[in-house]
Amino acid sequence: MIKAENLIRKFGSLVAVNDISFEVKEGENLILLGTSGCGKTTTLRMINRLIEPDSGTVFIDGVDVRTRQPEELRRGIGYVLQNHGLFPHYTVAENIAIVPRLLKWQPTDIRKRADELFHKLNLDPVLADKYPAALSGGQQQRVGLARSLMVNPPVLLMDEPFGALDNLTRISIRKEFKALDELVKKTVIMVTHDVQEAFEMGDRICLMDQGQIKQIGTPEELLFYPANDFVADFFKEQRLQLELKSVLVCELLPEYSDRTVSVWERMEQLLQRDVPEGSAIEDLMSAFSAYKKQ
Amino acid sequence: MDQTQSFWQFVIQQSDKLWSQTWAHIGLTLISLVIAILIAVPVGILITRKQKLSGIVLGFAGILQTIPSIALLGVLIPFLGIGPKPAILALFLYALLPIIRNTYTGIMEVNPAVVDAAKGMGMSRWQILMKVELPLAFPVLMAGIRTATVINVGVATLAAYIAAGGLGEFIFGGIALNNSNMILAGAIPAALLAILLDFLLSLVQKLNLKSIRISYLVLPFIFITLSSFYLLPTQIGGKMLGGFTPEFMGREDGYLGLKKTYKLGIETVVISDAVMYKAAFEKKLDVISGYSTDGRLKAYDLVILKDDKHIFPPYYAAPVVRQEVLDQHPELEGVLNLLSGFINDSTMTALNYKVDQLKETPEKVALDFAKAHHFYKPARVPGKGTIRIGSKIFGEQYILAQLYKILIRGNTDLDVITKTGLGGTKICFDALTNNQIDFYPEYTGTGFLVLLKPDRKTINRLAGDVKGVYSYVSDGFKQQFNIKWLKPIGFNNAYALMMRREQAQSLQIETITDLTNHLNQN
């Protein structure tokens, strides 16, 4: 779906992105993870040509993006920013209608699609006529996402989409986004510096440092088979929690039917019950430690 | 002249003039503003795109802003002549900075995340400018336009100095004529105009740009521009054009007298004496109201038309001194009278020529003259007090002030400070009566008509009577203001109508009556 080949980009004497290549399959969520200044945002912005690479090529569906007119290219790619980037002088309804209007949609179609997304994103319809300044941070971010999803683009680029939110809001919105059917089908590339976020949202993680990829793989691969010391050190502090989140219950207990629930989520479920099922937790934990010893 | 005439009576009586001046003022302000907007907004946008240019452009516009308005008008005259053209250009230049700066600031202050989002969603640069940057910068941009408007309403008063009309005609005429009603009749409408335009623009500023079509803004804009040209004073249809100072226009012994006594019918514009002579020389004007001892008369080869019906009263110069000062320093009167008899009309014209045209300093001219006529004495050590000499704002007065300084320092133990450049008659005379200066050179005719304002009968009786006028002002000043007229210096700097020598000769015009007859031919 998306393929980056040998991307290099310099800003003055600084090499922001130094020979990066990766591939994202259709429907996959790839997380560009790293500390600030590692080149992850530059990499993201080269995909929709907000930044042009000095050398290297980005292909979308096999087509070199440089052969496409930049505005037309961007209209077909959803784009979500950290500070939502909503137009302060447009109402919520007008904000989410921007791309459809650029694509000359009929007003009735815009209205229909907006209603649908409002519903899916748990946005109160009365917000449609409000200006962004009147919305809470969480609402603004939902509107930002709704705006990027309006024309149902196959590819979505997200640059620290939860970065400006407080911790509690961030966690709950993240869960909501993850469960959203619109996002499940999409090819998503998301930039973040938050390790927890990367593990929760990503099918694969691309860990970057100083403009280069240190390792690219599934969360489990990065945790259990780090390619180098940098990768191992990077997750050291939150290791246990990450492991619990990245291992699925079905991998430990073959009889467990739901194949999407992680050990972490299963523990949360069990602990929330009024009468804790002590043995269930103990079984899970011992299976987990056995799994780790393999 | 009726001194008790109220402000409202003046406004009603002069309402025709007031309207035409107000319309001209609006015209000048709006045209210059519209041109400034058309140029400054794109320039402001350009420098947000080419950041390196911003410093140069804003610096340059800033320098334009600091040029004194009168100087700017003066600089433009050689290129654009007189009338509305240089005035509009000057106003345009003043309006540039606030509009460029606010356009630039407004756009730079737009949240970069919003512009980034617009770009990322696939808006073109033009769409980003029109739908994001300009609407968000609009309130700041409008604030700049409002600032420029208020500045322009103020500066447009100076257009009266270069025959472009506007409310400045009343303001400067009023100052020259010591007529408060006239000053207010110009100043109040100008102030109201500034407030009104600012208010109207504040309504525009609040408009929600998104919800109205651009054409709704563009149409009134075009309408205003076109109609503004209609408001400008139209001129030069007649045979000859007269350029008269605001003071001359309002005086019985000036334009009013010319109309009444000579039945002179000439198209006129109001203009500052600073540019009048040059404009006559450059054939922008045919007849001007000069002063008979002006050095520029010689420089530009102009001739005086003989006042054959004697409407211009004598203007013999003499120091007017506060009586208290004379009582305090009795030696002063004799010293000041030393100058009496030294200077006749042609001597004064020659001295003025040195200052006005040869650009010698009044100090040097005065010193050279004192040495040549052997009344120069080295300055004594002062210690007895200080005399403050005032002067109006033209060369002749500067020279006289310097001559008096030399005389006082050489012949008394008094120190001298000069307060030169006190604007017109009213400013100078008010300074004297308010004890801010001790004396200044005044002219008998000015004291008679402008300061004492006698009734019509007295004017008619004394017009042309040199001694009669002198004794009338002498007595009048003593009684009313406790100010003494010393001996006249000897020259008569009267009002005079002037023309270019070759034009006057070819048309065989020697007197004002000749001029009237020439204009009435056809």
Which of chain B's residues have a Cβ under 8 Å away from the Cβ of A148?
A: 121
Question: Between chains, do A50 and B116 touch, taking CB under 8 Å as contact?
Answer: yes
The whole-number average pLDDT for the span B295-318 is 87
Chain B: residue whose CA lies nearest to A150? B121
Question: Crossing angle of helices B345-356/B395-411, nearest 10°?
Answer: 110
Question: Between chains, do A94 and B210 touch, taking CB under 8 Å as contact?
Answer: yes
Q: How confident is the model at residue B440 (pLDDT cuts 50, 70, 90)?
A: very high
The whole-number average pLDDT for the span B296-314 is 86
Q: Which residue has the higher pLDDT, B39 or B84?
A: B39
Q: How confident is the model at residue B270 (pLDDT cuts 50, 70, 90)?
A: confident
Q: Are B391 and B431 in contact (CB under 8 A)?
A: no
The minimum CA-CA distance between A219 and chain B, rounded to whole Å, is 29
C-alpha torsion sign, points B419, B420, B426, B427: negative
User: Does residue B124 have a pLDDT over 50?
Assistant: yes
What long-range pairs does B16-23 form, CB within 8 A, spacing at least 24? B17/B169, B17/B170, B18/B170, B18/B185, B18/B189, B20/B165, B20/B233, B21/B165, B21/B166, B21/B167, B21/B169, B21/B170, B21/B186, B21/B189, B22/B167, B22/B189, B22/B193, B23/B231
d(CA B400, CA B398): 6
Point out the residue among A74, A82, A88 whose CB comes nearest to the CB of B122. Answer: A74
Q: Are B236 and B84 in contact (CB under 8 A)?
A: no
Which range, of A8-22, B76-90, B190-204, averages the lowest pLDDT? B76-90
Every domain of chain A and the residues it spans = 2-237, 247-294
Which range, of B124-138, B261-275, B358-372, averages the lowest pLDDT? B261-275
* pLDDT value at residue A47: 94
Question: Between chains, do B118 and A99 touch, taking CB under 8 Å as contact?
Answer: no
Residue from A206, A179, A212 nearest A191 by CA: A206
d(CA A285, CA B451): 109
Q: Are B250 and B256 in contact (CB under 8 A)?
A: yes
Q: Which positions ≥6 away from B199 have C-beta within 8 Å? A: none
Which of chain A's residues have a Cβ under 8 Å away from the Cβ of B122?
A: 70-76, 99, 102
The whole-number average pLDDT for the span A212-232 is 90
The minimum CA-CA distance between B51 and chain A, rounded to whole Å, is 18
Question: Crossing angle of helices B15-49/B134-155, nearest 10°?
Answer: 140
* pLDDT value at residue B211: 59
* pLDDT value at residue B2: 47
Q: Compute the CA torsion angle B242, B246, B250, B254 (nearest 10 deg).
A: -50
* pLDDT value at residue A71: 92
Q: How confident is the model at residue B172 (pLDDT cuts 50, 70, 90)?
A: confident
**Domains identified in chain B and CATH numbers:** 2-231 (1.10.3720.10), 241-310+497-521 (3.40.190.120), 317-492 (3.10.105.10)
Enter the pTM of the model: 0.75
* pLDDT value at residue B335: 92
Which of chain B's residues have a Cβ under 8 Å away from the Cβ of A105?
A: none
Question: Between chains, do A87 and B117 touch, taking CB under 8 Å as contact?
Answer: yes
Question: Between chains, do A81 and B120 touch, taking CB under 8 Å as contact?
Answer: yes
* pLDDT value at residue A129: 93
What percent of chain B clears pLDDT 70, i.e. is strictly above it? 95
pLDDT digits (tens, 9 = 90+) for B56-70: 999 999 998 888 887
Question: Between chains, do A88 and B120 touch, taking CB under 8 Å as contact?
Answer: no
The whole-number average pLDDT for the span B509-522 is 86
Between vectors from CA A270 to CA A265 and to CA A275, what angle results, nearest 5°? 165
User: Does residue B94 have a pLDDT over 50?
Assistant: yes
The minimum CA-CA distance between B129 and chain A, rounded to whole Å, is 13
Give the highest mean pLDDT range of A206-210, A253-257, B10-14.
Answer: A206-210
pLDDT digits (tens, 9 = 90+) for A185-207: 899 999 999 888 898 888 999 99
Question: Between chains, do B113 and A81 touch, taking CB under 8 Å as contact?
Answer: yes
β B495-500/B287-291 pair status: antiparallel
* pLDDT value at residue B4: 57
The minimum CA-CA distance between A89 and chain B, rounded to whole Å, is 7
B-side interface with A, Cβ within 8 Å? Answer: 111, 113-114, 116-124, 127, 132, 135-136, 208-210
Question: Between chains, do A88 and B136 touch, taking CB under 8 Å as contact?
Answer: yes
Point out the residue among B111, B122, B210 whose CB comes nearest to the CB of A102. Answer: B122
d(CA A39, CA B348): 83
User: Does residue B7 have a pLDDT over 50?
Assistant: yes
Point out the residue among A75, A88, A94 whose CB comes nearest to the CB of B122. Answer: A75
* pLDDT value at residue A215: 94
Among A42, A81, A87, A191, most B C-beta atoms within 10 A, so best to mutate, is A87
Q: How confident is the model at residue B1 (pLDDT cuts 50, 70, 90)?
A: very low
pLDDT digits (tens, 9 = 90+) for A105-117: 999 999 999 999 9
C-beta atoms surrounding B9 within 10 Å: 12
Q: Which positions ≥6 away from B237 have C-beta within 8 Å? A: B267
Q: How confident is the model at residue A173 (pLDDT cuts 50, 70, 90)?
A: confident
Rounded mean pLDDT of chain A? 88
Which of chain A's residues have a Cβ under 8 Å away from the Cβ of B117?
A: 79, 81, 84-87
The minimum CA-CA distance between B101 and chain A, rounded to whole Å, is 22
d(CA B340, CA B319): 10
* pLDDT value at residue B357: 82
Q: How confident is the model at residue B457 (pLDDT cuts 50, 70, 90)?
A: confident
Point out the residue among A71, A81, A86 whose CB comes nearest to the CB of B123. Answer: A71
The whole-number average pLDDT for the span B77-97 is 87
pLDDT digits (tens, 9 = 90+) for B379-389: 888 888 899 99
Task: List C-alpha distances in Å: B346 to B294, B318, B491.
Answer: 10, 17, 8
Point out the residue among B120, B124, B209 whose CB comes nearest to the CB of A79. Answer: B120
What percent of chain B clears pLDDT 90, i.e. is strictly above it? 42
Which of chain B's residues have a Cβ under 8 Å away from the Cβ of A86?
A: 114, 117
The minimum CA-CA distance between A79 and chain B, rounded to whole Å, is 6
Point out the residue among A74, A89, A94 whose CB comes nearest to the CB of B121. Answer: A74
Chain A: residue whose CA lies nearest to B117? A85
pLDDT digits (tens, 9 = 90+) for A81-129: 888 889 999 999 999 999 999 999 999 999 999 999 999 888 999 999 9
Domain A2-237 has CATH 3.20.20.140: no
Name residue, tokens 């002198």.
B470
* pLDDT value at residue B45: 94
* pLDDT value at residue B522: 59
Task: List C-alpha distances in Å: B85 to A205, B143, B233.
Answer: 69, 27, 11
Q: How confident is the model at residue A174 (pLDDT cuts 50, 70, 90)?
A: confident
User: Does residue A37 have a pLDDT over 50?
Assistant: yes
Residue from B442, B405, B422, B407 nearest B319 by CA: B442
Q: Compute the CA torsion angle B213, B215, B216, B217 (nearest 10 deg).
A: 110
The minimum CA-CA distance between A72 and chain B, rounded to whole Å, is 6
Among A49, A73, A98, most B C-beta atoms within 10 A, so best to mutate, is A98
Point out the residue among B111, B122, B209 whose CB comes nearest to the CB of A71. Answer: B122
Give the highest mean pLDDT range of B12-16, B81-85, B238-242, B314-318.
Answer: B314-318
Chain A: residue whose CA lies nearest to B111? A85
Rounded mean pLDDT of chain B? 87
Point out the residue among A72, A88, A90 whose CB comes nearest to the CB of B122. Answer: A72
* pLDDT value at residue B328: 92
Total CB pairs under 8 A between chain A and B: 63
Query: Which residues face B291 on adjacent strands?
Result: B495
User: Does residue B210 have a pLDDT over 70?
Assistant: no
* B26 alpha-carbon distance from chain centroid: 19
Question: Between chains, do B117 and A81 touch, taking CB under 8 Å as contact?
Answer: yes
User: Does residue B237 have a pLDDT over 60?
Assistant: no
